[in-house]
Each structure stands twice: as structure tokens, then as C-alpha cells.
Amino acid sequence: LLNCRVEKLIKDLTALGFENITTTYILSKEYVELILQEYNFALPSLSTSTNLDNVYDELKSPVNPKLLTKRPPVVTIMGHVDHGKTTIIDYLRKSSVVAQEHGGITQHIGAFQITTPKSGKRITFLDTPGHAAFLKMRERGANITDIIVLVVSVEDSVMPQTLEAIKHVKKSGNELIIAITKIDRIPQPKEREKKIEKVINDLISQDIAVEKIGGDVQVIPISAKTGENMDLLEESIVLLSDVMDIRAENSPKTIAEGWIIESQVKKQVGNVATILVKKGTLRKGKILICGNTFCKIKNLIDDKGTHIPEATPSFATEVFGWKDVPHVGDEIIQVKSEAIAKKFISKRQDLVEVQKNSSTVERLNEERALAKENHHNKDKDVDSESQDATQDNKLDAGPKNINFIIKCDVSGSAEAVSESISSLGNNEVRCNVISSSVGIPAESDLKMAQITDSTILCFNLGNLPSEVINNRAGIKIKQYNVIYKLIEDVTETLTENLKPIF
Ligand code: GDP
């Protein structure tokens, strides 16, 4: 698509700040967007989201301003690769664990919460920079973050991904705090001051209204290695969120809403999803609906692995009890009963069917129109009698679809696998992903594979039960632990389906 040799692309990506790029490196949508811009390509619409969630809109209640109460800010850390995002997150997480004398055990659930040592206020941090859920929600226009901490290394100053993050901040309207990192690397005070000044000036030339020029963007020089000024960074977040007066509705009557920021199947305990609460309170026994699945909350467990009785706005908690694994990035809404949950899910499924059918019809129509146009042009150019009849047939039929169903361990990899194989193929044969989801292939997957003549691709699922592998329907099930092996295999299958050239 870029019309560029892969060696050059890798060189360009390295210049952009990417590391250890190989030909099998899988890029996130955000990076693809960045690269397309670098090559001056218009951005195609990469969004796959639909308006299916409108089905649940009638379950939501309008915000009642009288019931709004203060909630902690939700913070995302962004910045150029290697500028220190992970180190900051690790520092904050560790210091919060030490403060609570918890024995140092934490689990990655997609977000964590700290209580600041000075003011005793709470802050929620999204845990993975460039988090899949965060990107997906952004595509939909949902903004789950209140504040972005932009990390800039004092040694390197503004770099390409810093610029990307600035672009995002401006577009999203999020509030911004700058953390100039790695100041311990320049111990000499004068030299350090000079370098910090340079970073600030570079930011000013990117139209960041820092305090130095009378703006309100705070700049905090820090070291996540030594901990210097980390308390200041925390307090600057608290200060900003106080000014922003961040609130959410949370009365006993408030219908709980939130976002799925992580989901997986856990051995022994089943389907688990991390929910970041938007409004209301999650409690054991409450019923939640999300996409095509629902949950009667069995347990809530926080990022320290502790069972908690409830989760209030801005809190992230693991929720146990899902019928199926919900998708990362989807919204959850509380419903009164399982019966209501089932009714709405079936309504949504009907809509999915309608959309699927209409998009298939649309696609077929497009393909037919294209084939006709091709045919027409050929007729104009060459004497029609000399046309090869098989060529005509091929044009009328369009590319042959080879169907796949993807099953993965976590939704992040389901998305990655789906995205990386969807684009495989050419005008003769192409890869068609029927569905991609989390968990061991269920009866419904086998049925779907049978109807659609699909191969089921399993990624990172460990040893599958023999009744699945040797299923009675004879569905082909392939297992992988390495993504490039999977891609190689799919490519080979597509190649096998190409018509032989004599
Ligand atoms: P990320 O790619 O933005 O998540 O960056 P990392 O947090 O992985 O940091 C990249 C490298 O810089 C690692 O080797 C860190 O140990 C180092 N680093 C990060 N922050 C600091 C800091 O404040 N001081 C020093 N001396 N090194 C740091």
C-alpha cells in the first residue's frame, strides 16, 4: 500500500523511534495512523465500531446534576517510547502498595489506584500506555481519561511520539500535565536547568500553554528512578482535578455504567473482566449487560488482589460472573434482572443479523458493480470475441473468501490476530474473519464454523480438550502460540487456494 520497500520502511520506523522492528512486527492502529501520516497518506477509516450499543441507550438514565458527587481523576500516561512511561507506572504502583503495607503483591488488571501520601486523595491510572481499550474507546469518541500526563525525557526532549500525543491531547480536549523525566541522569544543577528549559521551549513551540508563558499546563521535572518530585507530580494531578471539579452520579438509585478495559478467561474462575466504573456503584449480585453477554456479579477484586465489597466511580475492579467474555472497549450498563438482560441481548443480536445481512448484500453489490465495470472496460478495449471466457467468470465471481474463526486467550490478542490476517489475500483469494473472540471453541463456534465452512484458529489457548480437537463435525482446528506462525499458515492456506497458472 505504501509502495515502499520493507527495508526502507523499517529504517523509517527506526528513525521515528520504533525499536526492534522486524518484518513480522504487528503495529497497533495508532501506529499505523502515524506511519500513514508520515507517508502523506489520507487516513482510511479504521474504525470497526457500530452503533449497536445504542440498543442499550434506553437503559441509561439522564444525568441528574443534584446527584453528582466528586470522583477521583482517571489518568493516562503518554509519551515517546523509552521516555519512561512504564517506570513511572511501576514507581506509582509500588509506592501505593508499600503505603498500604500489602506485601507487595499487585496484579495487572488494566488500571490501578493510588492514594497520594500528602493530600490523601485518590487517583486512578490506566496501566498500559497505548492501551487497546483506550484506543478503541477513542475511536468511538468515548473519553475515559480526564488527565493526560505527557512524559518527555530531559535528554531527548520532544520526539515523534511526543508530537503524536500532543495531537491527541489537542483533539481529545483532555487536560494536560507535563512530566520531564530522567532528571537524575543530569546531576549538575546548571546543566540540568538548561536542559529542562530546552524541553519547555520545545513544548512552547508546539503550542503547549505552559505556566512559564502564563498558561495553565503544569511542568514537573521528575525522576521515576530515584523518586525525586514524584510526590509533586501526584499533587499536581490532585490540584488539577480539584480545579476541574470531576464528578459522577452515584446515588443508591443510580444505574451503574462503566467500560471494559481488560477481559480474559482465567483457569478455574472462568470469565473475568476489568470494569472502570463511570457512574453508580458495582456490588455483588448486581446484573450487568455488555455486548452480547451479561453477568450477575459473583465477586469484585481490586488491583491488589483484594476482595472488595463495592466499586464506585473511577474505580477499576475485576468482575467475576460473566456468561461469556465481554469485549475490551465495550460499555457496561446495569439492568434490573436477568430476564431484562436476555431480552436486550436478543434485541441486539437481531440487529447484528440485520447489519450483517445488509453489509453482505452491500459488499456483493459493490463486487458485482466492479466486475461489471471491469467487463465493460475490457469490451471497449479489446474485441469481445477474443475474450477469455474463464477470465469473465472470474471477474463475475469476485475473490474467493477463505473463512476463519479466531479464538484467543485475551481480547487484545483476538483483535491483533483478526487485524493482522484480515488484510491477507489478493483479488483472487482473500481471508475472511467470521468472528474473533476469547476462550476455548464452544459448541456455537463449531456450529458457526460448520455453517460457514471455516477453520478455527486458536491462539495461546494451551492444550484444548480432545472433544474439541476431534469434534464430530470434523471442523479443522489449528493451534498456535506464535503469531507469525499463524500468519504464515493462513498465507499458505490462501496460496493453496489460488488457481494454478498453466
Ligand atoms: P517507556 O517505553 O516510555 O515505557 O520507557 P521505560 O519506562 O521502559 O524506560 C526506558 C528506559 O529508561 C529504562 O531503561 C528505564 O530504566 C529508564 N528510565 C526511565 N525513567 C528513568 C528515570 O527517571 N531515570 C533514569 N535514570 N532512567 C529512567
ipTM surpasses cut 0.95: yes
Q: Report pLDDT digits (tens) over 76-124.
A: 999 998 999 989 998 998 876 655 544 555 677 889 999 998 889 999 9
454 lines ligand 1 (CB under 6 A): no
**CA 39 – ligand 1 centroid, Å:** 29
Whole-number percent of the chain with pLDDT over 70: 82
- Spatial CA neighbour of 138 closest among 167, 113, 176, 111: 167
The set of residues, in sequence order, having a beta carbon less than 8 Å from that of 93 and lying 6+ positions away, is 106, 112, 114, 125, 303
Alpha carbons 71 and 122: distance in angstroms, whole number: 9
Q: Report pLDDT digits (tens) over 414-467.
A: 888 888 898 888 888 889 998 888 888 988 888 888 888 899 999 989 888 888
C-alpha cell at 202: 520545545
180 lines ligand 1 (CB under 6 A): no
Indicate the top mutation candidate among 82, 151, 196 to test ligand 1's pocket, ranked by most ligand atoms within 8 A of CB: 82
Indicate the top mutation candidate among 20, 77, 87 to test ligand 1's pocket, ranked by most ligand atoms within 8 A of CB: 87
87 lines ligand 1 (CB under 6 A): yes
- Which residue, judged by its Cα, is nearest atom 25 of ligand 1? 182
**CA 15 – ligand 1 centroid, Å:** 19
Alpha carbons 291 and 277: distance in angstroms, whole number: 16
C-alpha cell at 224: 521515576
- Which residue, judged by its Cα, is nearest atom 7 of ligand 1? 84
Q: Are 319 and 274 in contact (CB under 8 A)?
A: yes
**CA 87 – ligand 1 centroid, Å:** 5
- Spatial CA neighbour of 311 closest among 323, 325, 299: 299
Residues in the chain: 502
162 lines ligand 1 (CB under 6 A): no
Alpha carbons 100 and 94: distance in angstroms, whole number: 10
Q: Report pLDDT digits (tens) over 10-49.
A: 888 888 777 777 777 777 766 777 787 777 776 544 333 3
156 lines ligand 1 (CB under 6 A): no
